[in-house]
Copies of this chain bind each other. A is one copy, B any other.
Amino acid sequence: MEGAVRASFDLLPLVIDRAVAVAVEEDLASGDMTTEACVDSDARAVAHAVARHPLVVCGGTVFARTFTRVDDSLEVECHAEEGARAQAGARLWTVRGLARSILMAERVALNFVQRMSGIATMTRAFVDAVPPGTKARIADTRKTTPGLRALERYAVRVGGGHNHRDNPGAAVLIKDNHIAASGGVRRSIHRARGAAPHTTKIACEVDSLEQLDEALEAGADVVLLDNMDLNAVAAAVARAEGRVVLEVSGGVTLDRVSELARTGVDVISVGALTPSVATADIALDFEP
């Protein structure tokens, strides 16, 4: 699919604008002496963003917005849909216009899409590792890069993953410290049920089957099995009998996804999707 880069409906322009404005200002508030000195003010150029290795494409609207934020006369064309698998050498997007503007915005635009495509690519690998016939979702966590949560969650979705709660005001998630502070799993769930909006699910983290039973009995909607071994996870699935959404988390690596999914859990959340992910190698090649 080729065409103009459309505003994605999954990422509000307001959100993109703010992230792009911060990044452009961080890099370019003092100008770009090299480009101004070496490139004629009326020189024009065409540059292609190219995948240097196979990757899942992500960030086209952010890429386009970065260039137009620097110079709104630049034109950005899109060659690849969000979420598409690109081969090494594939052209993803093309920028046309004043050479100075393109060179100025290049680094910031690449910093965004290298991270976003890196996350989408890694997420896709985890999603593809879920064996056919099993139902586990791959989900992110709240371990996101400060200031970039909306973009990183979007990249996870683009990679085929699912989001966890956006923030602690969007769902209840009772952890060990909450349990300790409120006097047990049951009491935590009851307190949360009483205080949270009726539109809110109650998730509870447990580290034993006894705690699981207590959570089931108290009416949790979601139970997180934290750092449990495979046998315990399987036992938990058996015991829950589908009454709650079961999530496993804690140190999930790519080679464990298959066996975890086969236990029948509903969700596998992966902290490594967002903060430490290897950025994708995307370069900007100028037409000679």
Question: Which A residues contact B (CB, under 8 angstroms)?
Answer: 7, 9-15, 19, 21-41, 43, 45, 69-73, 98-101, 103-104, 107-108, 110-112, 114-115, 118, 137, 139, 142-150, 162-175, 177-182, 188, 191-192, 194-201, 203, 221-222, 245, 247, 266-267, 275-279, 286, 288
Contact = CB atoms under 8 A, between A and B. Distances in A.
A254 to B, nearest CB: 15
A178 B34 contact: yes
A24 B169 CA distance: 13
A198 B69 contact: no
B276 A118 contact: yes
Contacts of A118: 276
Contacts of A275: 111, 114-115, 279
Contact of A276 (B7, B43, B221, B278): B278
Copy number in the complex reads 6
A1 to B, nearest CB: 12
Instruction: List 7 tightest A-B contacts by C-beta distance, closest first.
Output: A30-B169, A23-B146, A37-B195, A171-B199, A32-B168, A38-B182, A38-B178
Given A267-B198, A286-B180, A27 B142 contact: yes
Nearest to A112: B146
A199 B164 contact: yes
B100 A9 contact: yes
A15 B35 contact: no
Contacts of A27: 142, 149, 167-168
Contacts of A267: 198
A108 to B, nearest CB: 7
Contacts of A14: 21, 24-25, 28-29, 69-70
A259 to B, nearest CB: 20
A33 to B, nearest CB: 5
Given A30-B167, A37-B191, A192-B34, A199 B173 contact: yes
A203 B142 CA distance: 24
A172 to B, nearest CB: 5
A197 B164 contact: yes
A200 B148 contact: no
B198 A137 contact: yes
Nearest to A195: B37
A200 B202 CA distance: 9
Contacts of A173: 34, 199
Contact of A34 (B104, B149, B172, B247): B172
